[in-house]
Amino acid sequence: MNILEKALEKALRSEGITPGEAREFAALPDSALCDILSVTDRVRRHHRGMEVNLCSIVNAKSGLCREDCSFCAQSAQYSTGAPAYPMDSAAALIGAAENAALNGAREFSIVTSGTRVEKEGDVAVLEAALAAMKERVGVERCASLGILRRGVLMRLKDAGLQSYHHNLETSRSFFPNICTTHAYGEDVEAVRTAKSLGLFVCSGGIFGLGETWDDRIELASTLDGLGVDSVPVNFLNPRPGTPLEHGSNLTPVECLKIIALLRLMLPAKDIVVCGGRGVNLRDLQPLIFAAGANGMMIGNYLTTPGRDAKDDLQMIKDLGLRPRGL
């Protein structure tokens, strides 16, 4: 039995491939793409059906971050020209959520730069925005606010937060190459805290940082071990002024293989393609679903524009898929 046959058999009984099998998968040549997609499409349909999760974000507090993540335009350590502003008002966040719902998003996430949100005034704004969204906006309420302290996360959950997003970004082994200002273990702990509070947890990473396939496999194993519910997948879009500004984009086929790897290692989870989709996948964007993704971000990313939400909705319809409702 070859690796794809083995992966399909395991995935259909909700079992992911092992790291050893994943290395065998990673070694498949680009010419095997159609064979890979025929398997991952079947696995996605088996576990996640024909519905696509659409999520949207607002950059609620931008720039001025004291961390040094080498891919990020929001670090204060680099001159990137990215917008820098303090926490938006609750009214602005609610307006952004309403707009996301109009664009067809099912999940809406409030995202802030920085290690964590901890100022009382900022937490109070988030509580007010979440409570109002719960009352009058038809979206699932998510937030990405860094390595949040448990007490703050509990307050936000009480106000209406349903999901928490915190990416591990890459493998523990490769992490020191992309961030030196905090430890990987702190990110893992943030994910554990959110899980322990019963929140739906989205945690994934960014690919194209110079990591190897072994790093990608290690990251997927860590996410599996943490029991995350959804895996956001970002591809590097090199930002001027960051240490990775001269990084080259991945090929579209490599991006599709990364999505496929995640689907085969975490067969029953949500896999959501987020930042860097357009510049890395170009005309192969519609193939993300055959590769195993069952969700994508629509609208703008944190510091770069996304394509028109209408084009994404049309793409989904043309593929015979449909946005997942609430």
> Applying CB under 6 A, which part among 25-33, 70-78, 212-220, 277-285 lies near ligand SF4?
70-78
Distant-in-sequence, close-in-space partners of 316: CB < 8 Å, separation ≥ 6: 52, 322, 323
Among 17, 22, 65, 244, binds ligand SF4 (CB under 6 A): 65
Give min distance, CB of 12 to ligand SF4, in A.
36
Contact 297, 55 (CB under 8 A): yes
Among 4, 7, 33, 69, binds ligand SF4 (CB under 6 A): 69
Of 71-79, 116-124, 133-141, 310-318, the segment contacting ligand SF4 by CB under 6 A is 71-79
Burial class (CB in 10 A: 0-12, 13-18, 19+), 270: buried
User: Smallest distance, Å, CB 320 to ligand SF4?
Assistant: 36
Q: Is 144 in the site for ligand SF4 (CB under 6 A)?
A: no
Pick out residues in 95-114 that bind ligand SF4 (CB under 6 A): 113-114
Sign of the C-alpha dihedral, residues 268, 105, 283, 80?
A: negative
Q: How far is the CB of 157 from ligand SF4 (least distance, A)?
A: 22
Q: What is the identity of the amino acid at 283? A: D
| Residue among 39, 61, 67, 166 that touches ligand SF4 (CB under 6 A) | 67
**CB nearer to ligand SF4: pick between 251 and 300:** 300
Query: How far apart are alpha carbons 188 and 291 in whole angstroms?
Result: 27
Least distance from C-beta 103 to ligand SF4, angstroms? 24
Interface mask toward ligand SF4 for 74-93; x: CB under 6 A: xx------------------
d(CA 268, CA 263): 8
Nearest approach, Cβ of residue 113 and ligand SF4 (Å): 4
* Contact range with ligand SF4 by CB under 6 A, out of 69-77, 80-88, 122-130, 315-323: 69-77
Tell me the closest approach of the beta carbon of residue 74 to ligand SF4, in angstroms. 4
- Give CA–CA dist 282/164, Å, rounded: 29
Per CB under 6 A, 33 contacts ligand SF4: no
Asked if 72 is part of the footprint of ligand SF4 (rule: CB under 6 A), the reply reads yes
Task: Give the separation between CA 176 and CA 169, rounded to whole angstroms.
Answer: 11
Element (H, E) at 164: strand 163-165
User: Shortest Cβ distance from residue 70 to ligand SF4 (Å)?
Assistant: 9
- Residue 71 carries which side chain, given as an amino acid letter? F
Q: What are phi and psi of 261, to 5 degrees?
A: -55, -45
Q: Which range touches ligand SF4 (CB under 6 A), out of 20-28, 47-55, 64-72, 226-234?
A: 64-72
Alpha helices in the chain (DSSP H): 3-12, 19-26, 33-48, 90-102, 120-136, 150-159, 184-196, 213-226, 252-265, 277-281, 309-318
CB atoms under 10 Å from CB of 325, counted, come to 8
- Where on the chain is the footprint of ligand SF4 (CB under 6 A)? 65, 67, 69, 72, 74-75, 113-114
